[in-house]
Amino acid sequence: MTKLRKAVFPVAGLGTRFLPATKAIPKEMLTVVDKPVIQYVVDEAREAGIEHFIFVTGRNKAVIEDHFDIQVELYDTLERRGKNEVLQRLHGMQPQPGQTSFTRQQEPLGLGHAVWCARELVGNEPFALLLPDMIMQAPKGCLSQMVEVFEKTGGNVVSVEECEPSQTHKYGIVGRGDDVAGGFEINAMVEKPKPEDAPSNFYINGRYILQPAIFDLLAQQERGAGGEIQLTDSMLTLMQRQPFHGYHFTGRTFDCGSPEGFVEANLAFALERPELREHVLRVVEASGRS
């Protein structure tokens, strides 16, 4: 089995739900406590053993590339001022030379098209796909746990969570088959089904491990809803040829593409920090009294 080495991050979105904040700043660079959203997702991939980080960008996203580059003046200043703890933290987040690649999605044609734009950088090997709006909180990263399933099952693996049965129309829903190697067989996949038509209440939460055969399918995929190339449509075709397995993630997921999820993520990650927890609790308590 080919080792999972590469991950794709589609970061070309405009972030219209966060205007005016995202007029000049990519939504992926908005901070949850003191780290950009994209850094949390890259850290999750690095923890899972990913060696090559592939970003599918768009216009006005150059600051993402700058974030993952070495800033000589900043590092020199921190060193001169004895800010060794901060400097070590920055070095720890820094990808090694040659580990990051950037390609453009010139047209906003959907997630499937963004993934297809990474085809030459991925090549003929399996890859992880991490949606950067979704950041996760768990003792062990979601992708790390998916890799454990993938190493036993091969094929394709998606992470899922449970939603309220009445909310299946908001998500891509999978059908649950037999348990396998810490995950389960997926026997159906439906995009935003009505509750009465849903095969389960397990929805895909933004983490995938996919085989490179998906690229040929995306190249031939007709445009779907909104005139976009839908990843789910090609996954449905691929599922007829290759196995798909689900991993049931039981941590917390925050949709930082929405203001509500972004605020919730800031609270949750701040409460996880010992030096911030008591202060945040006092602020929340005081706000509740006012």
- DSSP codes, 46-57: HHTT--EEEEEE
Task: Specify the pLDDT at position 278.
Answer: 93
Task: Specify the pLDDT at position 128.
Answer: 98
Compute CA distances 159 → 36, 41, 137, 206, whole Å.
Answer: 23, 14, 14, 7
| Amino acid at residue number 97 | P
Q: Which residue has the tokens 């933004």?
A: 206
Omega cis (within 30) before 20: yes
CA distance 215 to 1: 19
CB-based burial label for 131 (10 Å; 0-12, 13-18, 19+): buried
Residues in CB range of 71: below 8 A, 6 or more apart: none
Which domains are present in the chain? 6-257 (3.90.550.10)
Compute CA distances 66 → 61, 70, 102, 268, whole Å.
Answer: 9, 8, 11, 27
Nearest to 39 by CA among 53, 29, 49: 29
Which mean pLDDT values do the consecutive 10-residue runs of the chain (290 residues) have?
A: 92 89 92 96 96 94 91 89 89 88 90 95 97 95 96 95 92 91 91 91 95 95 79 92 95 94 96 94 83
CA distance 114 to 39: 20
33 by DSSP, 3-state: which?
A: coil
Question: What's the gap between Cα 15 and its chain centre?
Answer: 15
Task: Tell me phi and psi for residue 255, to 5 degrees.
Answer: -85, 95
Nearest to 258 by CA among 27, 42, 38: 27
Q: Is 192 left (phi over 0), alpha (psi -120 to 50) or beta?
A: left
Task: Specify the pLDDT at position 225.
Answer: 66
Element housing 70 (H / E): none
For 157, the token pair is 């693996």
Task: Specify the pLDDT at position 106.
Answer: 86
Task: Specify the pLDDT at position 91.
Answer: 86
Task: Specify the pLDDT at position 290.
Answer: 65
